[in-house]
Structure 1
Amino acid sequence: MELDSVINFLENRTILVTGGTGFLAKIFVEKILRVQPNVKKLYLLVRATDAKAALQRLHNEVIAKDLFRVLKEKLGANLNSFISGKVIPVAGDITCEKNLGVEDINLVEEMWREVDIVVNLAATTNFDERYDVSLGLNTLGAKHVMNFTKKCVKIKLLLHVSTAYVSGEREGLILENSYRLGETLNGASGLDIDKEKEVMEERLNELRAEEASEKTITRAMKDLGFERARLYGWPNTYVFTKAMAEMFLGHWKENLPLVILRPTIVTSTYKEPFPGWVEGVRTIDSLALGYGKGRITCFLGDLDSVVDAIPADMVVNSMIVAMAAYANQPSEIILQVGSSVANPVTFTCLQDCAFSYFTKNPWIGKDGKPVNVGKVKVLSTMASFHRYMTIHYLLPLKGLELVNAAFCQYFQGMYLELNRKINFVMRLIEIYRPYLFFKGIFDDMNTEKLRMAARESCVETDLFYFDPKIIDWEDYFMNTHIPGVVRHVFK
């Protein structure tokens, strides 16, 4: 594989980015604008009612973020004019089959004429999402993006960002292989994307015919997503709908150059535009912060399990280099971007880093006092977890139920609140259990070939770094990631 200058490749490019206000999309846009100001145009598809609302979302949810401070320092008073000349917010919705929901036909035809590359970053990453929402965004949305891309006369590549966890609960080395249409993880037959849409719509119509409340519909659609995912071997709705998207794209792409990029757990920026920028709460972050606040005193999982993490700027750099490497190649390339092969990190490291950080930098509680943290109790099996829950929560709940009945429902509020908390914890464990005991290692041979091609061609590797071997995990978590989460997410 020969690779020319990535900076030169980006010059005069016109790129359409879906999910334009999302975490990775912001970092992608900032990086392009900062390293190649001569990019021709970036169309950002955002959910909005009209062009004015789309522009407002661009400024409030993208440009106004601290992420853009380096670019602001670089351009000063010229920032707004530079942005308005390069970035075009587009009101649309990838769940809409016709033109991605873009109503301005002149703008649609302009994009069909000018767009070189489409980057699909629009998705819901909620494991516990409603099936109608997840299927509409993650699966059917990807289909609509591909159909739109095929109409772009200058198209050189569709880059679709998926997730490494489409692998489900596989163990051992997980290869960068594609999924065939209808393939399942447990060997079950009958997976059909059109049928899944019918099943979803039929259940939704039933609920509406019954005049079910929105809360009832939400719970039923969430349950349906889990039911359909597990029927075919996937642990949750998110990874199931992302896997179906990959199947559809691979089967129907025809001669369209396609890269499917599968990042693992995406964490805060390693280096650019500055270390530690993050937005939203990732699973490992909620655990770390819950611990720092003194709310987590026990942990369920295998402390020796590998946590496959990768900083967000490395994901974005791999995306950009992949664009330059695979443009105009009518093939499907799978790139798994993670660290479990080259530089694995374990739950033990995360636990030790969280303990060290919050011991040196204690969380200040609502009472103004520092929260003292200690070593957590580790429950290494589901059986030990159920015993712990039974002794500490379920038996007291049963006792409270009896007392409540004896005192004519006097303790009803307390009972309902404790029951709610227990159900919430059990639901979280149901959702995240596969990842607390995950035994898979993500092969990244294709991604390593891309890194090697960049090194051998001397292609700006200092600017487009994405080699996890350079990460000192202890230093990164202690001095970059956890402080970044505290600063940018929890303020």
Structure 2
Amino acid sequence: MKKVKEVHGEKYEEFMMKKLVAIPGNICESDLGIDPLTANHIANNVHVIVNSAATTNFDERYDVALSVNTKGPSHLLTYVNDGRVGKIEETALVPMLDIENEMKLVSSLMEHSVQENQHSNQNMKQLGLQRAKIHGWKSCYTFSKAMGEMKISSTIGDIPIVILRPSVIESTYKEPFPGWIEENRMLDPFLTLFGKGQLLGLFVDPQVIADVVPVDMVVNAAIAAMAKHGISGIPNINVYQIGSSMVNPVTIGNIVDYTNEYFKSNPLLDSKGDEISISKTKYFSSIGDFSHYITTEITRESGLMEALINNVKTSLYTKLDRQCKKRVQFFIQMAKTYETFGFFRGRFEIGNAQKLREEMSKEERKKFEFEVEDINWKEYFCRIHIPGLRKHVLKE
């Protein structure tokens, strides 16, 4: 938007009004919650529908995930990632689960809930993870997205469908400018904590491939796929996985090393204006070892350890104890939430995406670039992504 404003200046709003029409709706409702007259107008004038509505929390409430990620795709389009091991092919997921039964299960439990409170919220999160693991999935997110794709496969109708499966989406590589990003997501909470000197350890395998892809390459691939299948008009399902694990892998350990190098040369400042020092990251393969380590470190750093040794139990001690437990719980919950990502052994095949690119002209490939093979990951993280994160998310 910023770049468009710079191009059009005072005529920005006039330009946008010609290009965009905002219509309120709800992907969780039948007909998207849009009135019949507007829905009919859309049906007669819209040629391509892109569904990017989703809840991406790994530990989302099961009822919310079903409503958005599973029911939503029945109305529009979707993409899905899963937690398998080995090479993951670019093929649609066929209906293999009783999705209606999953929805009835949630409805039944909701009926027995007297009111929405923290307790029922936690129960719904636990249910989502439990149901996912029963059916062989690693998280409620991947499970609900998979069921969404299955519903598409069972109700394809007579329209061409493109399912786009991007991997770990991070900041732009080039467009609209390098390093643009809006949220602190996926890898970014860890990079931010690292820069602030607060990342005490990681419950991950440093040899695991992170499978990062810049967001502008995902958008370019989507545009190319829509153009190809929109023109053909053949009613089938076409799957495109956009990732780097098969052709240009970067490990979690690599990313940590790049982050370490960057912040040592470009440190963040603390509240006093002093440079924050960075320490070497420790890796843990056991949640028990990880929990023990961070509990010990946080207790030592806070001064609580010294108070325990000197048997000083005052109101300050009580406050420190409460703060320590809260911080420890934060890191443990974060580690458990990202466990799937930190130990993920799958690699995403991108043959369909490569073939799509080969069918494009030289000019089209230059304009809609999504060649992940050409990315230098050290340059990307040290000169594009982390500086972009600091500017657009941390607001430095």
Query: What TM-score results when the alignment is normalised by the length of structure 2?
Result: 0.91
- 2:23 maps to 90
1:422 counterpart (315, 318, 328):
328
Rate the CA distance shift 1:238–1:216 in 2: closer, same or farther, 3 A: same
- Letter of the 1:473 counterpart: W
* Residue 311, structure 1, aligned to residue 221, structure 2: no
> What CA distance in whole angstroms lies between the structure 1 residues aligned with 2:331 and 2:109?
27
Q: What displacement does 1:419 show?
A: 3.3
The residue aligned with 1:72 is 5
Q: How many residues align?
A: 388
Of the three residues 162, 183, 190, the one matched with 2:79 is 162
| AA partner of residue 365 (structure 2) | T
In 1: Cα distance, 2:284 partner to 2:242 partner: 30
- Secondary structure in 1 matching 2:338: helix
Give the superposed CA RMSD: 2.6
Q: Counterpart of 1:422 in structure 2: which amino acid?
A: V
How far is 1:415 from its partner? 4.3
CA distance in 1, matches of 2:179, 2:113: 44
1:28 aligns to what?
none
Partner of 1:203: 109
| Aligned equivalents of 1:322, 1:236: Cα separation in 2 | 28
Is 1:243 paired with 2:174?
A: no
Alpha-carbon displacement from aligned partner over 1:68-108 (angstroms, at most 9, x marks no partner):
222222222222111111200001001011x20113x3322
Match of 2:156 in 1: 253
For 2:216, the aligned partner's letter is D
Kindly indicate whether the alpha-carbon contact (under 8 Å) linking 1:204 and 1:221 is maintained by their aligned counterparts in 2. no
Match of 2:376 in 1: 472
Distance 1:408 1:387 in 2: 25
Supply the AA of the counterpart residue of 2:345: K
Shift of 1:418: 3.3
282-291 or 410-419: bigger deviation: 410-419
Instruction: Give the match for residue 332 of structure 1.
Output: 237
> Which of 65, 70, 78 is equivalent to 1:139?
70
AA paired with 1:272? E
Asked if structure 1 preserves the Cα contact closer than 8 Å seen for 2:201 and 2:290, the reply is no
CA pair 253-225 structure 1, distance change in 2 beyond 3 A: same
Q: What does residue 94 of structure 2 align with?
A: 180
- Read off the aligned partner of 2:174 and give its amino acid letter: K
In 1, Cα distance between equivalents of 2:149 and 2:102: 15
Between the aligned partners of 1:130 and 1:300, the Cα distance in structure 2 is 23
2:123 maps to amino acid: A
**1:424 corresponds to which letter in structure 2?**
F
**Structure 2: any 5+ residue segments left out of the alignment?**
none
**CA deviation digits over 1:357-383, x for unaligned, max 9?**
111111111222110112212224446
Q: Are 1:233 and 2:136 an aligned pair?
A: yes
Q: Secondary structure at the match of 1:259?
A: strand
User: Is 1:81 the counterpart of 2:24 in the alignment?
Assistant: no
Residue 487 of structure 1: how far off its partner (Å): 0.6
Deviation of 1:204 (Å): 1.6
Residues in 1 aligned to 2:319 and 2:110: alpha-carbon distance in whole angstroms: 32
Which structure's relative contact order is higher, taking Cα pairs within 8 Å and 6+ residues apart? 2
CA distance in 1, matches of 2:259, 2:132: 33
Structure 1 pair 357/259, CA: closer, same or farther in 2 (3 Å)? Answer: same
- Comparing both structures, which one devotes a greater share of its residues to strand? 1
Counterpart of 1:335 in structure 2: which amino acid?
Y
1:425, CA displacement in angstroms?
2.5
**SS of 2:367 mapped into structure 1:** coil
User: Does residue 355 in structure 1 map to residue 256 in structure 2?
Assistant: no
Which region of structure 1 is more displaced relative to structure 2, 302-311 or 171-180?
A: 171-180
Q: What is the aligned partner in structure 2 of residue 6 from structure 1? A: none
The whole-number CA distance in structure 2 between the counterparts of 1:418 and 1:372 is 21
Report if the CA contact (8 A) 2:169-2:214 is conserved. yes
Task: Kindly indicate whether residue 180 of structure 2 is the aligned counterpart of residue 266 of structure 1.
Answer: no
Q: Following superposition of structure 1 onto structure 2, how do residues 272-311 of structure 1 map, counting pairs within 5 Å? A: 272-311=175-214
Q: Any gaps of 5 or more consecutive residues in structure 1? A: 1-67, 146-159, 183-190
Q: Percent identity?
A: 35
Q: Distance in 2 between matches of 1:348 and 1:460?
A: 35
Q: For residue 102 of structure 1, what is the aligned residue in structure 2?
A: 34
Following the alignment from structure 1 to structure 2, what is the Cα–Cα distance between the partners of residues 459 and 261?
Answer: 23
- The 3-state SS of whatever aligns with 2:194 is helix
Structure 1 residue 111 and structure 2 residue 42: aligned? yes
C-alpha distance in 2, partners of 1:423/1:362? 27
Please list the CA deviations of residues 289-315 of structure 1 after superposition, one character each: whole Å capped at 9, or x if unmatched: 100001012222221211100000000
Distance, in Å, in 2 between the alignment partners of 1:90 and 1:236 is 32
The answer on whether the counterparts of 1:301 and 1:378 sit within 8 Å (CA) in structure 2 is yes
Say whether the 8 Å CA contact 1:261–1:334 is kept in structure 2.
yes
| AA matched with 1:195 | N
- Select between 409-418 and 432-441 the one with higher mean Cα deviation: 409-418
Aligned-partner SS, 1:117: coil
1:255: Cα distance to partner?
Answer: 2.4
Q: CA separation in 1, counterparts of 2:328 and 2:200?
A: 15
Give 2:198's aligned amino acid: R
Residues 248 and 235 (structure 1), Cα distance of their counterparts in 2 relative to 1, 3 Å cut? same
CA drift of 1:392 comes to: 5.4
CA 1:200–1:297 in 2, change beyond 3 Å: closer, same or farther? Answer: same
> Judging changes above 3 Å, is the alpha-carbon distance between structure 1 residues 114 and 394 closer, same or farther for their aligned structure 2 residues?
same
CA contact (8 A) 2:139 2:340 kept: no
1:364 corresponds to which of 245, 248, 269: 269
Secondary structure of the residue that 1:119 maps to in structure 2? Answer: coil
